[in-house]
A = this chain, B = another copy of it.
Amino acid sequence: MFRQGDTTKGIFFLASGGICLTRVTESGNSVTIYNAQTGDMFAEASIYSDHYHCDAICTAPSEVVRISKQAIQKQLREDTAFSEGITKRLAVQVQDYRQLLTLHALKSANDRVLLAVELGKLTGSVTQFANQIGLTKEACYRALRDLSDQGLLTKTGRGRYAPTPRSEDRLP
């Protein structure tokens, strides 16, 4: 998509595929900054700088929408609702990332899986879920079984688990 040092041409929305953002550090090593997945937006900060500070490389055939820098800047100045929407969206993203970081900070697989399920992260396949929370699928299945055995989770079907309702939550 673009290279480190290129003049910024806008922000990007990844409709499908995969984009890897990498950056060459001062010591000359190339390091991964972010792996964008389907539905992600990236290079938001490029609105405010003249050149990209990382490479964006396709890791799979991808469909990408580019929104031009000029269009964004014009809209940000002229449309208050748009500006407010962008700001709020960024603020929410910050909170989401903090939540994800909190999750990743838990070392125990059981703790991590339990919290992740309680946060509603287990929607698709367990394989995806495992990848998202930084565990192998095997460790994930085992944690899910352990937590079900302990009564903290309830198995609602093949590959489906839900938090066991706490007694306080029950209504007459």
The interface of chain A, by Cβ under 8 A from chain B, is: 23, 25-29, 31-35, 44-45, 47-49, 53-54, 76-77, 80, 83-84, 86-88, 90-95, 97-102, 104-108, 111, 114-115, 118-119, 134, 163-166, 168-169
Contacts and interface: CB of A to CB of B under 8 A. Distances in A.
B92 A163 contact: no
Contacts of A91: 44-45, 47-48, 90
Given A45-B95, A49-B95, A106-B25, A31 B118 contact: yes
A164 B108 CA distance: 34
A112 to B, nearest CB: 9
A163 B25 contact: yes
A53 B49 CA distance: 30
Q: Is the interface of A mostly helix, strand, loop or mixed?
A: helix
A161 to B, nearest CB: 12
A44 B93 CA distance: 11
Nearest to A35: B102
